[in-house]
Amino acid sequence: MMGPQYEEKTKLQDNHHQYHDFQQAQTQQQDLLTAREERRVIEARGEGEESRIAEMELMNAQVRYQVLKTQSEKRILKAPFTGLVVRSVTIDGGKTAIPLPGEVVSQGTPLMTIIGLDRIQVLAQVDEADLHLLREGMQVQVTGDGLQGCS
C-alpha cells in the first residue's frame, strides 16, 4: 500500500498539519500582539493613575505643611518692643495667683507680662560703706538672674 495514493495521502496530511501549525502560530502571534497592546494600555493608564495619585499626595503634603507652618507661627510671640518677660501676677479678690507650669487657666488669664526696658526700676540694698560711691542719676550696671543680654 505504498503506492502513489499513499504518498499523496501522506503529503496531504503533512500539508494539513503544516497548515494547522501555521494557523496556530498566526493565532499565537496575534494573541501576543494583542496582549502587548493591552499591557501598554494598562501601563499607560496605570502611570496616569499613579501620576494623579502622586499629585494628590503632593497637594495633601503641601496643605499639611502650610497648616503646620501656620500653627508654628502662632506659637511664636513677638513683642512690639524690647523688654523682659516676667511672670504675671493676678490679684483675685485680694489673693495673689501666679499661674504654675501645667496648670489649667481660663481664657484671658495673663500668663506673663513684658516689661519695657525703659521702665525698669531697681530697688537695691547697698552697704553703708559703699554709699559714697553712688550719686543720684549715676549710670550703673545691674546684673542678676533674668537680666542676661540686657544693658
| 59-118 pLDDT tens trace | 999 999 999 888 888 877 788 888 888 877 766 665 667 777 888 888 887 788 888 888
pLDDT of residue 63: 93
* Per-residue CA distances from 89 to 44, 62, 101, 110 (Å): 68, 42, 14, 8
pTM value is: 0.34
Mean pLDDT of 5-25: 77
Q: Considering Cα of 68, then 69, then 71, then 75, what sign does the dihedral take?
A: positive
Instruction: Output the average pLDDT for the chain.
Output: 80
Who has greater pLDDT, 63 or 32? 63
Who has greater pLDDT, 110 or 119? 110
Mean pLDDT of 135-142: 85
